[in-house]
Amino acid sequence: MERIKFGLLGAGGFAREVMPFVRRSVAKTLLIPESAIDAYFVETWQPKEPIVNGYSVLSLDEFIQLNGKKYFNVAVGSGGDREAMVTKVGSNAEPLTLLAPQATILDCNIIGAGSVFCSNTMVTSNANIGKFFQCNIYSYVAHDCVIGDFVTFAPGVRCNGRVHIDDYAYIGTNAIIREGTSEKPLRIGKGAVIGMGAVVTKDVPAGATVVGNPARLMEKR
């Protein structure tokens, strides 16, 4: 059997949390044994360390030059940085979504390529999620939500039903987003930032930062 090469871009804290379930997730997706997968951390610059947590660290050029079929994902917190890294990879490797063993994806969901679902996360039903979504530990996406590309959920995000989140939004740790309605989904605009512990009860404009309970626009100083 041809060996599969998988590159996890990034070697920081989040990437080190994701790497332990990479082989199991890739094996389940591709229907191959875990023993047939070579997994690497990949940096877009020259790596500072050759080994991190027992895995080889390659530069992006070194990863691209490997022989055989290559797949990848990106484990960095900023949606904009993820997009830049995806652009650098180009057509040299194929994105794969990664699911931790304790992640749960229920019925009739659409999940974009290159997403990451960490331990104890859930997507319930009829959600439409864009590419390279990042769902950190203990976060959930409820029914009928629509989530754009390169959106980030920090740990413990509670995104209730009929919420629309546009591209590049960042939802902070333990934020709660109130349920919308079928006539008027609650919307979080492109590139918006929801602060840690915020309780979002109404729409958030594109590019805005909101904090507090209830969430309010953060005053500029």
Active site residue 164: no
**Active-site pick, 143, 152, 160, 200:** 143
Grouped pLDDT means (10 residues each) for the chain, 221 residues: 92 95 97 96 87 95 94 95 95 97 97 98 98 98 98 98 98 98 97 98 97 89 62
- Interatomic CA distance for residues 152 and 207, integer angstroms: 14
The predicted pLDDT at position 221 comes to: 62
Question: Would you put residue 11 in left (φ > 0), alpha (ψ -120 to 50) or beta?
Answer: alpha
| Amino acid, single-letter form, for residue 73 | N
- Interatomic CA distance for residues 39 and 80, integer angstroms: 24
Tell me the DSSP string of 158-185: EE-SSEEE-TT-EE-TT-EE----SSS-
Residue ranges per domain, the chain? 4-96, 97-211
* pTM across the whole model: 0.95
Topology match between the domains 4-96 and 97-211: no
Q: Does domain 97-211 have CATH number 2.160.10.10?
A: yes
The predicted pLDDT at position 220 comes to: 67
Q: Which CATH class is domain 4-96?
A: alpha beta
The predicted pLDDT at position 44 comes to: 86
Q: 192: which residues sit within 8 A by CB, 6+ positions away?
A: 166, 169, 170, 204, 205, 206, 207, 208, 209, 210
Which residue, among 192, 190, 187, 195, has the nearest Cα to 208 in the 3D structure? 192
Strand-pair partners of 56: 51
